[in-house]
Chain A
Amino acid sequence: MVSKPLVSIVSAGLSKFGRLDGMYCRELFVDAAKEAYDRCPNLNPIKDIEALFVGHMGESYEHQGHTGPTLADWAGLLPKPAVRLESACASSGAALRTGILAILSGMHKVVMVGGVEKMTHRTTAEVTEFLAMASDMPFEQWHGITFPGLYALMATAHMHEYGTTEEQMARVAVKNHHNGTLNPKAHMQKEITVEKAMASKVIAWPLKLYDCSLITDGASCLILTHPDLAKKFTDAPVHVIGSGQASDAIGIYEREELTTLKAARLAGQEAYKMAGVEPKDLDVAEVHDCFTIAEIIAYEDLGFCSSGKGGNLIDEGTTELGGKLPVNPSGGLKSKGHPVGATGTAQAYEIYLQLTGQAEKRQVEGAEIGLSHNVGGSGATANVHIYRRA
């Protein structure tokens, strides 16, 4: 029995993702906001939007903090309250959840949630250092363990315990790169092969270049309202019917297991229960493939298969476009790109397009129920949202 909606998405916007020289967070966010405004002519943004919650991970990139009011100003939303949320790579998933709470509380009728990150003007070494700030300083960063290093530790453990292979991880990259060629806003627009992925340079063994998501510039946003008000703004809203979030120790060495993200499992269970749906009911999902092993672990954590069987799902083609449960039709973080603060609501944007039949060449036919899975850091934060076509 599918539950009643928590909130409705009445519009959504996404900037181009990629290396966007000369565009900084504020310009990127305007691109996303303008698309959302233009999609929804019945909405008067200046009058109707009552608050902004925006995910943004790092002030180091632009030496600019206090992102909330800055983006509210550039998006034409002053003097409405605006808050930045930081939960590493799950920042805008957390902003979405905060927006849901704001609507459910009754304090606001219409809010904008979104996220943004500008990364490509920094060197790879700088980005590696900034991203590592979302891991444990005294025991992980201190020993030179990078973000790819943390997921590589999970990958080695998964390979050892379940026999997952480097080829299976490469196949995740091949799938998501293919999907990216069907998404004009994706950062990468090129097919790759398993051989090419396997031969790419090692970043943190067993993870190679093509196992890693991209350093990307981009912004995303959604406009949320109470389900009873949605029809005032659009004939085709998408309802959010489940929201789950959980936390775990920041250091992976403090967690119960290396082969699963407990916070993601708990967030998924909460969201499924709230939504009244099961994994078999899903038509499409966007999961947090910051590294290819993360997508394999996500299949297991979200109940798409049992523990240790994530590699089989990719081998069998279940999660390809045309498969039983297409995962990351947008290209995912791997090919669409991963502007960290923007990723959570960019996943929701893709699900919004899919459930309203606007995903063009990558459309999952007849998709009615979708899921997004957004992970912060190495899994100390995870949030899962479930959506239904109105």
Chain B
Amino acid sequence: MAAKCNECGTVLLPPKPMCTKCLSTNLKWIELEGAGKLLSYTVIYIAPEQFQSITPYTVGIIELKNGLRLPGMIRDVDPKEIRVGMNLKIDFEPSTSSQWPAWPRYFFRPF
């Protein structure tokens, strides 16, 4: 989900409580498409403690059709097979943490 400004049409991702282009607070929720093209990626070998059990893991930034971008983990694909420009879809999983911050996690995978 993203926020769209009802005054000037700017789409905000991450959603913010005020439009950063025209300063209006008249916003609505819009749903984003569930897939995008990979802009860049990296394979993380040295990680903070909470991620060490899953190293090495791949993260990337995808660009949606409207130009908005999202970073996230890339799963279910060998890092050697990953290419800039490939199409990835967004999948969600429930948060595994009961402590703050407990927002849900999404990740990217090939179609």
Provide the residues of chain B in CB contact with A126, threshold 8 Å: 49
Contact partner of B47 among A128, A153, A160, CB < 8 A? Answer: A128
Q: In the complex, A156→B56 CA distance in Å?
A: 17
Contacting residue for A144 out of B39, B51, B61, B101, CB 8 A: B51
Measured CA separation A137–B73 after assembly (Å): 15
Is A139's CB under 8 angstroms from B84's CB?
no
Q: Which of A250-258, A297-305, A334-342 contacts B (4 or more CB under 8 A)?
A: A250-258
Overall SS of chain A's interface: helix
Contact B46 A124 (CB under 8 A): yes
Tell whether, in the assembled complex, residue B70 and residue A203 are in contact, meaning their CB atoms are under 8 Å apart: no
Interface size on B, residues (CB 8 A): 32
Contacting pair A128 B71 (CB below 8 A): no
Q: How many residues of A contact B (CB 8 A)?
A: 36
Contacts of B59 in A (CB 8 A): 143-145, 149, 153
Instruction: Report yes or no: A201 in contact with B71, Cβ–Cβ below 8 A.
Output: no
Measured between alpha carbons, how far is A227 from B45 in the docked complex, in Å?
Answer: 50
Interface membership of A202, Cβ < 8 A: yes
Cβ B60 vs Cβ A129 within 8 A: no
Give CA–CA (A155, B101) in the complex, Å: 30
Question: Does A138 sit at the interface, judged by CB under 8 A?
Answer: yes
CB interface residues, A 148-174, toward B, < 8 Å:
148-149, 152-157, 160
Q: How far is the CA of A249 from the CA of B49 in the complex (A)?
A: 26
- Chain A residues lying within 8 Å of B69, measured Cβ to Cβ, are 253-254
Q: Is the CB of A149 within 8 A of B44?
A: yes
Max chain A C-beta neighbours (<10 A), residue from B48, B72, B84? B48
Q: A154-B40, A156-B42, A156-B84 are in contact. Are A139 and B48 (CB under 8 A)?
A: no
Chain A 322-361 near chain B by CB (<8 Å), digits 1 or 0: 0000000000000000000000000000000000000000
Q: B residues bordering A, Cβ < 8 Å? A: 13-14, 39-49, 51-52, 54, 56-57, 59-61, 69-73, 79, 84, 101, 103, 105, 107
